[in-house]
Amino acid sequence: MAYGTWPSPYSPDRMAGSLRLKEVGWAGSGLLWLEERSDRGVVCFQSDPREAARDMTPEHSVRARIGYGGGDFGTSADAVFYAAEQRIWRKGLEPGRMRAVTPQGGESASPTVSPDGQLLAYIHESDGRAAVALVDAAGGDLPRLIATGRDFYMQPAWHPAGERLAVVGWNHPNMPWTGTYLELLTLTPREAGTLPPAKRAVLAGGPGESVFQPTFSPDGSQIAFASDRSGWWNIDLIDLADGTRRTLVPEAAEQAVAAWSQGMRTFAFGADGRHLYYLRSCAGEVSLRVVELATGQSSQVTGELARYRELSQIALSAKQAAEGELIALLASAPHIPSRVIVVQVDPSSPASATVRIARRSEAEDIPEESLSSPRAVQWQAENGDAVHGIYYPPASAAARCDGAPPLIVLVHGGPTGQFRMAYSAQVQFFATRGYGVLHLNYRGSTGYGRAYRERLDGQWGILDLEDAIGGAQHLAKEGLADRDRMVLMGPSAGGYTVLRCLTARPGAFRAGISLFGISNLFTMAEDTHKFEAHYLDSMIGVLPEAAERYRSRSPIFSVDAIVDPVAVYQGETDPVVPRDQAESLVASLRQRSIPHVFELYPGEGHGWRKAETIAAFYSSLEGFLRQYVVYA
């Protein structure tokens, strides 16, 4: 049986049927999470581990829509606050009706309830203007904007006394991983019938420093946040009384992530105030660690947690169990689909942590021996730089083939993104059919320090292309890939790398697969959404001075060079990469009779959400690969 034709348990329908777990949180001792079912977002609540969870938001599809989303819901002791239909809504944890807290208009995210439960802080955007807003948590007053003037805000956090808020803000042309500010907003006393204005002070950050996730200590004496001023995102502490600042655990590893969306979290204080738990990312693997604040002594949390290699969205319960802290996480591993888990850990004995599974995203009925096991790989670029990736070999309990397998090189979006050792149904879809897969973390990816991330400045369309080809050739030399059957595939910015390679280096890959990829850098700079409106200033250059660079690196102006088969997939209503980016490219392919597939999916944006779209996409993809790679 030929590579690429192996019988696989990952059918297109199975790919469409998985839940997407997006967020976790606590309300008292109750656990909440957000799951996406096809194109609907549903907040679920489990009040007790012995009871089944129930849907909290049947009336709405929960989804915040600022930038790439995130910050979809927040909690108080007795309610969940969530974003839907251009409003923030309140729903009590006891069965009952929801209530609108904010008026309709603009977009809102990251609802964050004050310690006394009276006020709700959130991020609001309307007509391109961003603000931090306050509203009565019961919904009785009109909102008040307490911080404006920056192009973007995220991650509001309350001081335990309730009179101060911390927030991260930044301005164009910076991105949240290039230069941000940590602001402290001090609320003035309330007057009858009004919400207070705020006084503002910058605590940290600047044009060359990325700060992330301000979080106050339980006693309010310190504020923690991640900063990359050392070259790595490490957690710093500022004493609010004397202003002294120190790095808690200095190391060449990431303790935060690129803030592509609202509501991202990588650390939390323990309820006792003496410890802090954080997610440490190194070489594509994520571990949970606990550090004692007084000494800086850090230990890994293991026990039953050790089997997981990807962790995100840490959330600690305010109520300690008798045996220790309760920590909710989204968790997975190459053989373990995404789960909502609760880790119980005693900070004095982190190696004995236990894990309770609250929600599974898939049936988990495929034996581990039928799945691909990855390993980190590294090779040298032409200038000697180390380049990183994760390689997955073909996997099957029944099928075997001689010789090197076909290879699919997957390029992440961003381009400031990263592949980690998480479960990937897409990878297993390919690997269980007999393909090798390379998750490429080219120069410019996160997870390897600021210097590696900044390698791509001014070099997008050059280094990513070089690293895609270099990674494929490295695996071919190692006997892990058939150099005559290599495919390049990627979404968004990854799709740009695909199209750029097909035009600049025809024949380097047997075929290309672009998902909502960028073909025209000029129109991308003009038409994309606010979040990335100036992203290309650093990746390519500032217009009009860099116009020739934009032209020479835009695939649409070299489309006549494409001779290899290409599949182009596009969402009809994509606000990030508009449909004309794909349609103009496909028009040339069609005119010149270049082998291609083009699918435009109705009602889809920047990625697929509907189950029927996902099934159709994987059916089309499998047919394309068989025709132009397996049987070519």
For 88-150, give the secondary structure using H, E and C.
EEEEECCCCCEEECCCCCCEEEEEEECCCCCEEEEEEEECCEEEEEEEECCCCCCCEEEECCC
Alpha helices by DSSP H, 333-446: 425-431
Once rounded to an integer, what is the mean pLDDT over residues 594-616? 94
Q: Has residue 402 got a pLDDT over 60?
A: yes
The per-residue pLDDT of the chain, averaged, comes to: 95
Q: Smallest Cα–Cα separation from 407: which of 512, 487, 489?
A: 487
**pLDDT score for 318:** 85
Q: Has residue 269 got a pLDDT over 60?
A: yes
CA angle, corner 379, sides to 376 and 380, nearest 5? Answer: 150
Once rounded to an integer, what is the mean pLDDT over residues 420-443? 97
Express as a percent the part of the chain with pLDDT over 70.
98
d(CA 237, CA 252): 18
**pLDDT score for 397:** 87
Once rounded to an integer, what is the mean pLDDT over residues 586-610? 94
d(CA 48, CA 91): 18
Q: Smallest Cα–Cα separation from 213: which of 231, 227, 232, 200?
A: 227
d(CA 413, CA 420): 13
CATH topology of domain 150-264: Neuraminidase (2.120.10)
> Before 214, cis peptide (omega within 30)?
no
Q: Has residue 338 got a pLDDT over 70?
A: yes
Once rounded to an integer, what is the mean pLDDT over residues 525-536? 92
Q: Has residue 64 got a pLDDT over 90?
A: yes
**pLDDT score for 603:** 93
Domain ranges of the chain: 20-111, 150-264, 266-361, 371-630
Distances (CA, A) of 429 to 384, 493, 622: 34, 22, 9
Q: Has residue 54 got a pLDDT over 50?
A: yes
* Element (DSSP H or E) covering residue 435: none
Sign of dihedral through CA atoms 258, 259, 261, 264? Answer: positive
- Contact between 232 and 449 under an 8 Å Cβ cutoff? The reply is yes
**pLDDT score for 192:** 45
In this structure, the number of other CB atoms found within 10 A of the CB of residue 557 comes to 16
d(CA 135, CA 144): 6
**pLDDT score for 194:** 57
Confidence of residue 95 (pLDDT cuts 50, 70, 90): confident
CA angle, corner 331, sides to 328 and 337, nearest 5? Answer: 135
Q: Smallest Cα–Cα separation from 116: which of 137, 101, 134?
A: 137
**pLDDT score for 319:** 75
CATH number of the 371-630 domain: 3.40.50.1820
Tokens standing for 132? 């931090």
